[in-house]
Protein backbone atom coordinates (compact mmCIF):
# COMPACT_ATOMS: atom_id res chain seq x y z
CA UNK A 1 0.00 0.00 0.00
CA UNK A 2 0.95 3.65 -0.18
CA UNK A 3 3.50 4.85 2.33
CA UNK A 4 3.88 8.22 4.01
CA UNK A 5 4.16 11.01 1.48
CA UNK A 6 5.59 14.49 1.96
CA UNK A 7 5.50 17.58 -0.19
CA UNK A 8 7.45 19.39 -1.39
CA UNK A 9 10.48 17.13 -1.62
CA UNK A 10 12.74 20.19 -1.70
CA UNK A 11 12.12 23.76 -0.60
CA UNK A 12 14.48 26.70 -0.97
CA UNK A 13 13.47 29.90 0.75
CA UNK A 14 14.99 33.13 1.95
CA UNK A 15 15.68 34.06 5.53
CA UNK A 16 12.59 35.60 7.11
CA UNK A 17 10.06 33.88 4.86
CA UNK A 18 7.21 31.59 5.89
CA UNK A 19 7.09 27.95 4.78
CA UNK A 20 4.59 25.12 5.00
CA UNK A 21 5.53 21.46 4.76
CA UNK A 22 2.88 18.83 4.19
CA UNK A 23 2.63 15.22 5.34
CA UNK A 24 0.17 12.57 4.19
CA UNK A 25 0.32 9.61 6.57
CA UNK A 26 -0.43 5.98 5.80
CA UNK A 27 -4.19 5.54 5.55
CA UNK A 28 -5.70 4.55 8.87
CA UNK A 29 -2.71 5.56 10.96
CA UNK A 30 -3.92 7.59 13.92
CA UNK A 31 -0.50 8.74 15.15
CA UNK A 32 1.65 11.21 13.22
CA UNK A 33 5.09 12.54 14.09
CA UNK A 34 7.41 15.26 12.81
CA UNK A 35 11.17 14.98 13.14
CA UNK A 36 14.05 17.12 11.89
CA UNK A 37 17.37 15.71 10.72
CA UNK A 38 20.55 17.71 10.28
CA UNK A 39 23.54 16.42 8.35
CA UNK A 40 25.41 13.70 10.20
CA UNK A 41 22.83 13.45 12.96
CA UNK A 42 19.90 11.21 13.71
CA UNK A 43 16.37 12.59 13.44
CA UNK A 44 15.23 14.78 16.33
CA UNK A 45 11.63 14.73 17.52
CA UNK A 46 9.51 17.83 17.01
CA UNK A 47 5.83 17.01 17.62
CA UNK A 48 3.42 14.07 17.89
CA UNK A 49 -0.28 14.02 17.00
CA UNK A 50 -2.77 11.45 18.17
CA UNK A 51 -5.79 12.07 15.98
CA UNK A 52 -6.32 15.81 15.59
CA UNK A 53 -4.61 16.90 18.78
CA UNK A 54 -0.95 17.55 19.47
CA UNK A 55 -0.25 15.06 22.24
CA UNK A 56 3.39 16.09 22.65
CA UNK A 57 4.95 19.24 21.20
CA UNK A 58 7.96 19.29 23.51
CA UNK A 59 10.41 19.04 20.62
CA UNK A 60 9.39 22.23 18.83
CA UNK A 61 12.47 24.48 19.12
CA UNK A 62 10.60 27.78 19.54
CA UNK A 63 7.33 29.53 18.77
CA UNK A 64 8.23 30.03 15.12
CA UNK A 65 7.33 26.38 14.61
CA UNK A 66 3.73 25.24 14.58
CA UNK A 67 1.94 22.16 13.25
CA UNK A 68 -1.68 21.24 12.64
CA UNK A 69 -3.65 18.14 11.77
CA UNK A 70 -7.22 19.45 11.53
CA UNK A 71 -8.97 16.32 10.29
CA UNK A 72 -6.75 13.70 11.86
CA UNK A 73 -5.05 12.75 8.62
CA UNK A 74 -2.88 15.22 6.68
CA UNK A 75 -0.59 17.41 8.76
CA UNK A 76 1.15 20.67 7.96
CA UNK A 77 4.30 21.91 9.68
CA UNK A 78 4.55 25.69 9.54
CA UNK A 79 7.71 27.69 10.09
CA UNK A 80 7.54 31.45 10.42
CA UNK A 81 10.41 33.91 9.92
CA UNK A 82 12.75 31.17 8.76
CA UNK A 83 16.39 31.28 9.82
CA UNK A 84 19.43 29.69 8.19
CA UNK A 85 19.64 27.30 11.14
CA UNK A 86 16.25 25.86 10.16
CA UNK A 87 17.87 24.24 7.13
CA UNK A 88 17.47 20.48 7.55
CA UNK A 89 15.47 17.51 6.32
CA UNK A 90 12.01 17.50 7.88
CA UNK A 91 10.71 13.96 8.25
CA UNK A 92 7.18 12.86 8.92
CA UNK A 93 6.29 9.45 10.32
CA UNK A 94 3.04 7.70 11.09
CA UNK A 95 2.03 4.69 13.10
CA UNK A 96 -1.16 2.71 13.45
CA UNK A 97 -1.39 3.57 17.13
CA UNK A 98 0.81 5.52 19.50
CA UNK A 99 2.77 2.42 20.40
CA UNK A 100 3.13 0.79 16.97
CA UNK A 101 6.29 1.00 14.84
CA UNK A 102 6.77 4.33 13.08
CA UNK A 103 7.12 4.51 9.30
CA UNK A 104 8.83 7.50 7.76
CA UNK A 105 8.15 9.52 4.66
CA UNK A 106 10.92 10.61 2.25
CA UNK A 107 11.28 13.99 3.92
CA UNK A 108 11.32 17.60 2.78
CA UNK A 109 14.77 19.13 2.34
CA UNK A 110 14.52 22.74 3.48
CA UNK A 111 17.26 25.18 2.61
CA UNK A 112 17.07 28.68 4.02
CA UNK A 113 19.36 31.12 2.23
Residues forming the site for other proteins (CB under 8 A): 31, 33, 35, 40-45, 48, 50, 55-56, 58-59, 91, 95, 98-99, 101-107
Distance CA 42, CA 27 (A): 26
Distance CA 91, CA 5 (A): 10
Task: Say whether 24 sits in a helix, a strand or coil.
Answer: strand
- Closest approach, Cβ 16 to other proteins, in A, equals 27
Question: Closest distance between other proteins and the C-beta of residue 49, in Å?
Answer: 10
Q: How far is the CB of 103 from other proteins (least distance, A)?
A: 7
3-class SS of residue 85:
helix
Amino acid sequence: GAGVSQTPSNKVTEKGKYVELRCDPISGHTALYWYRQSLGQGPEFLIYFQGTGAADDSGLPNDRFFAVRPEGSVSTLKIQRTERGDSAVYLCASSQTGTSPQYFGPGTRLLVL
